[in-house]
Amino acid sequence: MTMYTETPLGVALEALTPTLTKLELSSDEYVRWVAGEVFDTLHRWGPDGTMKSWMQDHHGAVCETVQVDINSGSAWCPTNRTIDARSHSTYVSMLVGSKGSRRDYAKMRVVAVKSNVIVVVDDWHAIAYIVQPEDH
């Protein structure tokens, strides 16, 4: 994948747009909603706060993830994981039951954020985390 811009927002847009466009074509209404939430966040909201503070504010929420490797364009979209932002101070865990994955906060740059979506980038990934808004 060729990067045309070095800004964090440009990196996120270039990496996530092909995957989000495919998700928008899904026959599943919820999948289309997730893609729309990420697009809306990228195009209408700016960076605010830290990934750690957003995750702590959403501790215990069920999270959807759209993660893209910015070099290869390969995507990973795990669903229905619970945010555990209070067990460790340097990373967040995304759990399914007692198993899951983790993301270190170090080097993650917030690109765009709104109440239920955060988009972050590092040197390897563009990642969107999406939770259901309170009134959805």
Query: What residue spans define the domains of the chain?
Result: 8-131
Per-residue tokens: 45: 């909201």
CA-to-CA distance for 38 and 102, rounded, in angstroms? 21
Confidence of residue 136 (pLDDT cuts 50, 70, 90): very low
Q: Is it the case that residue 6 has pLDDT exceeding 80?
A: no
Q: Is it the case that residue 33 has pLDDT exceeding 60?
A: yes
Section 54-76 average pLDDT: 95
Per-residue tokens: 76: 């990973």
Q: Is it the case that residue 134 has pLDDT exceeding 90?
A: no
CA-to-CA dists, residue 136 to 10, 41, 51, 78, 116, angstroms: 29, 16, 23, 20, 10
- pLDDT tens digit string along 103-123? 999 999 999 999 999 999 999
Residue 31: alpha-carbon gap to chain centroid: 14
Per-residue tokens: 43: 């195009």
For 78, counting Cβ atoms within 10 Å of its Cβ (0-12 exposed, 13-18 middle, 19+ buried), the class is middle
